[in-house]
Structure 1
Amino acid sequence: MDPAVPGPFGAIENGAIGVIDGRIVQVGRRSEIAGSRARRVEALGGAWVTPGLIDCHTHLVFGGNRANEFEMRLQGASYEDIAKAGGGIVSTVSATRAASEQELVDQALPRLDALMRGGVTTIEIKSGYGLDKKTELKMLRAVRALGRGRAVRVVPTLLALHALPSDYKDRREAFVRLATDEIIPAAKAQGLAEAVDAFCEGIGFTPAEVQEVFEAAAAAGLRIKLHAEQLSNLNGAALAARYGALSADHLEHLDEAGAEAMARAGMVGVLLPGAFYALKETCKPPVDLMRKHKVPMAVATDCNPGTSPVLSPTLMLSMACTLFGLTPEEALAGMTLNAARALGRENEIGSITTGKVADLCVWDVTRPAELCYWIGHPGPQRRLFGGIEA
């Protein structure tokens, strides 16, 4: 599927893909490529081939899980009740701090494997459950280790402002200083992160606090992303746009000014239907507004232990359509080309285009829309990473 090809999905019927040394060198109809320099020709029996799926927003590395809280909520416990019992993000932070780097890797691998079985060939993984320098860097090292242990491209992001730790309850400014003056420079110096993220929200951090983190990220030469407009509108997306952010994510409460700012900055809006579903939200992201201003829309799992314990990328494709009203073509673009844009990798991955890496999925479907039609399609028949089946 090539975005330069006119028509639905950029699809080429009776197509063929030429791959040399892990990169795509030819794309076209079989009749056009027949007799080429290929050393080996492999027939796929008319199967549909898409770019490898890209999960551009996850919190895959963490200690423990919060299944017990899920049960408590179903039995009527409030968020406050759970927090008083030592639950919520506090429990994940405690478990993450207590785990060794190898234990974090071992716990994350089954989750990563599940996403890979669903077709993921590139995944972004955030830190953010350490809330101190030592653990944030430990998490990022675990993220890097995951990329070395599997046939998948891992993109690490430092979630510098996620939540306020209890020991900084009355020292917000000091915690922001910790992030800007110590954690961000250390992550950059050790080559552990490609971007910096924050949670701009009433229960998170103010725009002024986020701006300080953006300044520190820019000074370190790191790209910027932002959790924005999930529960309210603090104009986080517009703030991120002023700093040339790659994306703003969630966006349920995005307004027109924010959409316009994102469009001018060339940002991607990352939609996270798993969190919307798990939190039983009712305010949907303004998809029509993003269409109006031509803001590219990506789709991701937001895999995390508290609000989106999702391990199926194809389920997110389906939910993006049924819950948010995306077309199947928009949803698939949201987990391929637009997801690549959200990671700053659109020149390397995200479409079946000459010169890009041959990350591909081969699907047993009769038309691409089936990837969204089947609720939680189990995944591709075959998954190629850099031209090699894995």
Structure 2
Amino acid sequence: MQGAALLTGLTAATMQGDDNAYGLIPDAAIAVGDGKILWVGPLSGCPADHLALPHHPHEGRLVTPALIDCHTHIVHGGHRAREFEMRLEGASYEDIARAGGGIISTVTATRDASLDDLIATALPRIDALIGEGVSTVEIKSGYGLDLETELNMLRAARALEQARAITVKTTFLGAHAVPAGMDADTYIDTICLPALDAAHGEGLVDAVDGFCEGIAFTPAQIARVFDRARALDLPVKLHAEQLSHLGGTALAAKYNALSADHIEYANESDAAAMAGAGTVAVLLPGAFYTLHETQMPPVDALRHHDVPIALATDWNPGSSPMGSLLLAMNMGCTLFGLTPAEALGSTTRNAALALGLTDRGTITPGQRADLAIWNVEHPAELSYRFGFNPLHQRIHEGTL
């Protein structure tokens, strides 16, 4: 069996069971082989065949599932530091967008970048996430808004998976903004849908997303994109209810979306619809913080309806230039009131669900051996500190 080993001397946060529990196993051992978890439990109960494997002691460290960043925009050109200044000088997100800034300014920089440029500038971002124990990351397009640049963004995302030991899930976000000088419906017909077809034809798309907002696309327009995704047998997700309540969350639920993301303006009815559709709520505290938002996502309603909650960085050059999933966990607790157990579940088990993945996110026999080993005593420490990275070792597909 390839790479077979027994990891010992661990406190295992298996993330199995209740959302408010870590599924802790003290003095745990984990047997891995062929990139999978073979067994987990107290060392005292380890089967003899696993005890015979090479031992890798860890001196009481904590092990969790490797982290999953389920919403990022890390492939792009340029930066928007000047817009950061503008916001501090009083301009709103909508003001900047309507003046040709925001997403459109990144579109210009991304169109000017070559494929090699996009890969080279994204690699340090991938490395930063890997350095915090991330083993799976979602990367969206959406800064091209023309066919070739959208394809190049997705090609770059696929190339990152070849350049680093990380799983990349790609999301087509052609319906991210409307290019200058074009109306939304014409853009969808002449650029967005043809680009989706072309990207799917190249095998570049794992899911389809859209930005349903007053400064972007209406629910009816997003529905047209989702209809094409459905025809291509691609799952959907949606930026919904970030700045206002347009009905995007209900639309996402209607299409059984993998996730509805942001959702600050979602309500109790939206939470019930998400629960019925099996849609994960992806909360993005980096954007909430950067934009000085005050409308809180409906965390209590999500809990009441048992909607899985995920957290992600939303790493992008404008509204969330945040490259730390550990910081997102802290913000999820301090800004949104999640518990540390919910925060860890939101970046492991529930983040996997938000990407449609069932083979990772918990420490369970048969799951991928994607693990993170930490220099901490208790899993709450991962959310408690900020500006501090306690990662000891990341294990990707069982590679020690």
Give me the TM-score of the superposition, normalised by structure 1: 0.95
Q: How does 1:1-390 map to 2 (within 5 A)?
A: 1-4=13-16, 8-33=21-46, 35-37=48-50, 38-76=52-90, 87-168=101-182, 171-179=183-191, 181-345=193-357, 347-389=358-400
Q: In the TM superposition, what is the alpha-carbon distance from 1:239 to its structure 2 partner?
A: 0.8
Deviates more, 1:177-186 or 1:372-381: 177-186
Q: 1:256 Cα deviation (Å)?
A: 1.3
Q: Give, in whole Å, the separation in 2 of the partners of 1:344 and 1:332.
A: 18
Counterparts of 1:147 and 1:173, CA distance in 2:
34
Distance in 1, matches of 2:268 and 2:137, equals 30
* CA deviation after TM superposition for structure 1 residue 39, in Å: 2.5
How far residue 167 of structure 1 moved from its aligned partner, in angstroms, is: 3.0
In structure 2, C-alpha distance between the alignment counterparts of 1:203 and 1:180, rounded to whole Å? 17
8 Å contact from structure 1 (residues 125, 143) kept in 2: yes
Letter of the aligned partner of 2:82 in structure 1? N
In structure 2, relative to structure 1, the CA distance for the partners of 1:68 and 1:343 (3 Å cut) is same
Between Structure 1 and Structure 2, how many residues are aligned?
386
Letter in 1 for 2:101: G
| Counterpart residue type for residue 164 of structure 1 | V
Shift of 1:366: 1.2
Q: Decide whether the 8 Å contact of 1:184 with 1:220 is kept in 2.
A: no
Instruction: State the one-letter code of the partner of 2:245.
Output: N
5+ residue gaps in structure 1? none
Secondary structure at 2:382's aligned position in 1?
Answer: helix
Question: Which residues of structure 2 form unaligned runs of 5+?
Answer: 1-12
* SS of structure 1 residue aligned to 2:128: helix
Structure 1 stretch displaced more, 64-73 or 209-218: 64-73
Structure 2 CA distance for partners of 1:194 and 1:301, relative to 1, 3 Å: same
SS of the residue 2:127 aligns to: helix
Residue pair 1:314, 1:379 contacting (<8 A) in 2 also: no
Confirm or deny: 8 A CA contact 1:5 1:11 kept in the other structure. no
Q: Is the 8 A contact 1:5 1:12 kept in 2?
A: no
Amino acid at match of 1:155: K
For 2:241 and 2:205, the matched residues in 1 are separated by: 24
Query: What is the match of residue 10 of structure 2?
Result: none
Offset of 1:97 from its aligned partner? Answer: 0.3
Would the aligned equivalents of 1:56 and 1:123 in 2 still touch at CA under 8 Å? yes
**4+ runs deviating over 6 angstroms:** none
**Pairwise CA RMSD:** 1.7
